Amino acid sequence: MTDYLLAIDQGTSSSRAIVFDASAQKISSAQQEFAQHYPQPGWVEHEPEAIWASVVDVTQQALTASKLKEGQIAALGITNQRETTLVWDRDTGECLYNAIVWQDRRTAKRCAELKKAGAEGAVAAKTGLRLDPYFSATKLAWILDNVDGARKRAEAGKLAFGTIDCFLLWRLTDGRVHATDASNAARTLLFNIHDQCWDDELLRLFNIPASLLPEVRDCAGDFGVCAKTVLGSEIPIRAMAGDQQAALVGQAGFEPGMTKSTYGTGCFVITNTGDTALQSHNKLLTTVAWRLAGKVTYALEGSLFVAGSAMQWLRDELQILDAAPDSQSIAERTGIVGNIHVVPAFAGLGAPYWDAEARGAILGLSRDSNRDQIITATLQAIAYQTRDLSQAMADDGVRPAVIRVDGGMVSNDWFLQFLADVLGIPVERPVNVESTVLGAACLAGLSCGLYPSLQEIAGLWQSDAKFRPQMDDARRQELYAGWLAAVARIRSTN
Ligand code: ADP
């Protein structure tokens, strides 16, 4: 039997590898954290060799634990933290600088200059993104301009650029394949999502030599073979996708309107918009969900900087919560809090506000306010912020009928019930909440023929629990209006 799949998820804080059987059941897995580097305020870096070592380690561990023989893994799929930027030497494979992580803000000034010069409209029209340090282009230019001799070497064709997917592919194939996939390319600010090609005008704007760029392939297809010297066996690499897009696959969000929301450290909401690249009028991002057999499916995306990390803040900074899961029993005994609002805008507000200067607040305190109410109000805030995003999507004409959730926070039933109440639509939790890595495996399975079509993959998705809205409409509107008033009070500009 050769119908097992291997998936690698190279995330922001850890790398994971999982072996699945054909029915998408986990056979074995391994996970490893690696160091985060903060060389200056606002800067975030990863060591490429640490990323690589962790990926090789977890992959070998998962393969060994699976007890499968060589040849039994039909295909490997890769998913990854998006936008994080690397440049390496084509001859030696050595990286010129640490990976500049998506969270890194060092190019904020450069983005502001480009905005001031009026570039944002054209950039948004071509890429679906915003002119923000979050994306790869200004990070790549920073490396070329700040590492001695880098620009000259790039112009001479000596260097390669890649996001993490592309870097792993290069290393896994021992330097034979320099390619990325359309979902990752779509996050660089250099890729025209309508024409599906690197865009000369954008390359000029960001001052990037074209010789650096990888080939852009479908998310499911032939990406080469792992070199025997790397993993000990020649596993075909058959899929690559950015983490949020892979999660939409893992959640079987294949029809237009289908939506997934991931609640980990932050929160990412993505809605499938089919073959329409819907330009948002509400500051959401337009992106490539996946490209299969040359056909692009687009998505609308919004994210919250703070979701589960607000629980960590209650635990570690305020020290009023022993462990994140305790928030469920606390909220159950407290009930919905209407008068207190915690606005966790620790790093400003993301979509749909995009207010970088806003900061968090606890509003509406009175003499009898207590710890449990603050904890409950913090859970509620994450639900209200999801409503902000779903409202923005609705204003753009996208109205999901149900939202599928995953990530660490979704074990909290109280949170999911409140979320359904605030959104006014059902919230559904799958049996397998590891949607990202599952999505990468499914794409690999599709590519190698294990799954004949997306319908087969949709058939693997199993519901664990469905939370239906129980709140009456008037109460929902009243609570949400309270949230909007709280946000209005912390905005840096109104
Ligand atoms: P990431 O992949 O971003 O590292 P995870 O998906 O593992 O994150 O989710 C971890 C986050 O979920 C943590 O921030 C934690 O505070 C939060 N969390 C975990 N369990 C619960 C729970 N039962 N209720 C609320 N938050 C939780």
Beta strand 179-181 pairing with 215-217: parallel
Q: 79: CA distance to ligand 1 center in Å?
A: 20
Q: Does 15 contact ligand 1 (Cβ within 6 A)?
A: no
What residue type is assigned to position 10 of the chain? Q
**Residue 102, SS3?**
coil
Measured by CA distance, the residue closest to atom 1 of ligand 1 is 264
Give me the helices (H) in 232-370, please: 243-250, 308-316, 326-334
Q: Would you state the pLDDT for residue 1?
A: 59
Cα separation, 180 vs 464, in Å, equals: 34
Take residue 65 and report the two structure tokens written for it: 């634990």
Run of H or E residues at 432 = none
Q: Which atom of ligand 1 approaches the CA of 412 most closely?
A: 23
Task: Identify the CA nearest to 187 among candidates 122, 127, 131, 119.
Answer: 127
User: CA-CA distance, 356 to 347, in Å (whole number)?
Assistant: 7
Q: Compute the distance from residue 43 Cα to the ligand 1 centre, in Å.
A: 24
Ligand 1 centroid, distance to 408 Cα (angstroms): 4
pLDDT confidence of residue 310: 93
Give the distance (Å) from ligand 1 centre to CA of residue 325. 8
Q: What residue ranges define each of the domains in the chain, with the CATH number in brackets? A: 4-243 (3.30.420.40)
For ligand 1, what atom is nearest to the CA of residue 408? 9
Cα(301)–Cα(288) distance, integer angstroms = 10
Interval between CA 463 and ligand 1 midpoint (Å)? 20
Calculate the CA 14 to chain-centre distance: 14
Q: Quote the CA–CA distance of 399 and 273 in Å, as a whole number.
A: 10
Q: Which atom of ligand 1 is nearest to the CA of 308?
A: 14
> Is the Cβ atom of 325 under 6 angstroms away from ligand 1?
yes
- DSSP, collapsed to helix, strand or coil, labels residue 371 as helix
Beta-ladder partners of 465: 429
* Ligand 1 close to Cβ of residue 173 (< 6 A): no
Per the CB < 8 A criterion, the answer to whether 160 and 170 are in contact is yes
Q: Which of 416, 5, 19, 447 is nearest to 218 (CA)?
A: 447
Question: Which of 311, 330, 437 to probe ligand 1 with, by most ligand atoms within 8 A of CB?
Answer: 311
Which pLDDT score is estimated for 349? 87
Query: Is residue 312 lining ligand 1, measured as CB closer than 6 Å?
Result: yes
Instruction: Give every residue of the chain whose pLDDT is below 70, as ranges.
Output: 1-2, 494
CA 278, CA 271: separation in Å to the nearest integer? 11
479 token code pair: 């609570």
Ligand 1 atom with minimal separation from the 406 CA: 6
Please name which of 183, 243, 163, 219 lies closest in space to residue 407, comparing C-alpha atoms.
243
Two structure tokens written together for 143: 């490396």
Cis status of the peptide bond prior to 352, with omega within 30 of 0: yes
Spatial separation of the C-alpha atoms in residues 86 and 136, rounded to whole Å: 9
State if residue 436 touches ligand 1 by the CB under 6 angstroms criterion: no
Report DSSP state, residue 348: B
> What is residue 494's predicted lDDT score, i.e. its pLDDT?
54
pLDDT score at 358: 87
Whole-model pTM: value is: 0.93
Residue 13 alpha carbon, nearest atom of ligand 1: 4
Task: Tell me, in angstroms, the distance from the centre of ligand 1 to residue 264's CA.
Answer: 5
Distance 309 CA to ligand 1 centre (A): 7
CA distance 390 to 396: 10
Ligand 1 within 6 A of 31 CB?
no
